Amino acid sequence: MERASLTVEENNTLEEKLISDISEQKEDLIKSHQEIKDALISDVNKELTEANDVFGTHLENSSAKINELRDSLNNAARDINEAASSIRSSVLEASGIVSGAMSMISSLAYSIKSESFDTGGYTGSWGSSGKIAMLHEKELVLNATDTANILSTIDIVR
């Protein structure tokens, strides 16, 4: 399998984008879960208020209303459990996406080859595509023009 060559900057940008997208999905899931829960709680509260009104004025119908309320509460609990299950599935799916993205980023990071010039050296020619190099403390990096000027100066001094 051929791997795409990415610069470190492209790799970092890709990683930041993936993390941002997944974080947004997570926040949307949490917000949706809270909205569903709030709506269900509101429905239950309305049912309780209605039941209380009925019990206060029609005690003879209390048994039937209690059964209706029990059914409403059972339905609300079922709806909450279904919503929680759906949200759990979405979070697990998002976690899988994050895990896959992190594996891909890790794989790309290990596939980047770098050069090290800790004892000095000349990079040579390879075209205009550039390479990654490992820099060490207090090293000097020059562009092609400055390098040519320094080499010319060395030739003159010799």
Each residue of 41-87: pLDDT tens digit? 888 888 888 877 766 666 656 677 788 888 888 888 888 888 888 88
Question: What residues form DSSP beta bridges with 132?
Answer: 114
| Residue with the larger pLDDT of the pair 57 and 95 | 95
Same domain, 22 and 39: yes
Local confidence band at 149 (pLDDT 50, 70, 90 cut-offs): very high
Q: Is the pLDDT of residue 3 over 60?
A: no
pLDDT of the residue at 1 = 45
pLDDT of the residue at 152 = 93
Same domain, 5 and 65: yes
Count of CB atoms situated within 10 Å of the CB of 69: 19
Same domain, 81 and 154: no
Same domain, 107 and 120: no
Same domain, 18 and 91: yes
Same domain, 141 and 97: no
Same domain, 87 and 143: no
User: What range defines the domain where residue 70 resides?
Assistant: 1-112
Same domain, 126 and 108: no
Rounded Cα distance, 21 and 16, in Å: 9
Same domain, 15 and 65: yes
- Portion of the chain with pLDDT greater than 90, in percent: 4
How many domains would you assign to the chain? 2
pLDDT of the residue at 8 = 80
Same domain, 58 and 120: no
Average pLDDT over residues 142-151: 86
Same domain, 74 and 131: no
| Residue with the larger pLDDT of the pair 105 and 111 | 105
pLDDT of the residue at 116 = 65
- Global pTM value: 0.33
CB 29 within 8 A of CB 91: yes
| Residue with the larger pLDDT of the pair 138 and 126 | 138
Same domain, 91 and 121: no
